[in-house]
Amino acid sequence: MFTGIIQCMGQIVAVQRNGREARFTVRPQGNFADLQDGESIAHDGVCLSLESHTAQEYVVYASAETLACSTLGTFAVGQLVNLERALALGDRLGGHLVSGHVDCVAHVRRILAAGASRCVEIAFPAEHAPEVIAKGSVALDGISLTINDCGDDFLRVNIIPDTQKRTTMQRWRAGTPVNMETDLLGKYVRRMLRCGEVPAASPVSPGTGRSAGSAGMSREFLARNGFL
């Protein structure tokens, strides 16, 4: 589990491809002095397990599924990536809960000046729209951000000067692909609502708010318990 607060950037110093899989050697630009083999590190928002390490760099493995579902398939020697080590119990939760499991690859649509900040508009597949809400949270290339506003296939976020300086956002341009992870809680709520949908023709048992023979959640159940 992560928070979306980038600890430092790292440089890809070696790429070893084996068919549809790959291993990356990464050199952190910050203090990662107490690394342990097997621990989880987010790379541009993608959780990877550390296989081995030295005092200056470490090696991680990415499966075919990971490469297909994220921008990691385009990682090249010399590239900078956002790094965050896994959250420890008792740490400050400065961003929001981030799993490191990317939902889709989105794209920068445009970047506008907004005082010292930058307003970035991101286009994403419309199927994820129910998990994106104004003033909610999103992780873009592992960066925890608050959504200013959104539509069925886009969202806008403000990038403050410190985030611009500390992350790979400084290389974002129109068309840049970014890893997007929607809000973890929103995904669970959406799943529960979908599992609890009651067909229009299905009768509802009196006093239960549920369809006869169904143990799922319904709109009536949510309303009766103060959620709607």
Residue 92: inside a domain: no
Specify the DSSP class assigned to residue 61.
Answer: E
Please say if the pLDDT value at position 200 is more than 70. no
Are 175 and 214 found together in one domain? no
pLDDT at 188: 83
Whether 148 maps to a domain, the answer reads yes
Residues 19-40 have a mean pLDDT of: 94
Select the more confidently predicted residue: 68 or 92: 68
Classify residue 166: in a domain, yes or no: yes
Which residue range forms the structural domain that includes residue 209?
196-224
- Residue 2's nearest CA partner among 140, 136, 128, 144 is 144
Per the structure, the count of domains in the chain is 3
Phi, psi values for residue 203, rounded to 5°: -70, 150
Same domain for 60 and 13: yes
> CB neighbours of 55 closer than 8 A, spacing ≥ 6?
33
In angstroms, the CA 220 to CA 211 distance is 10
Is the domain of 201 the same as that of 177? no
The CATH number linked to 113 is 2.40.30.20
**Is 98 part of a structural domain of the chain?**
no
This prediction's pTM: 0.84
Shared-domain flag, residues 59 and 125? no
- Of 84, 213, 211, nearest to 141 by C-alpha is 84
Q: Is 16 found in the same domain as 72?
A: yes
Residue 13 domain-assigned (yes or no) = yes
Q: How far is CA 202 from CA 180, 197, 198, 220, in A?
A: 37, 10, 7, 13
Is 50 exceeded by the pLDDT of residue 146? yes
The CA distance from 169 to 176, in Å, is 10
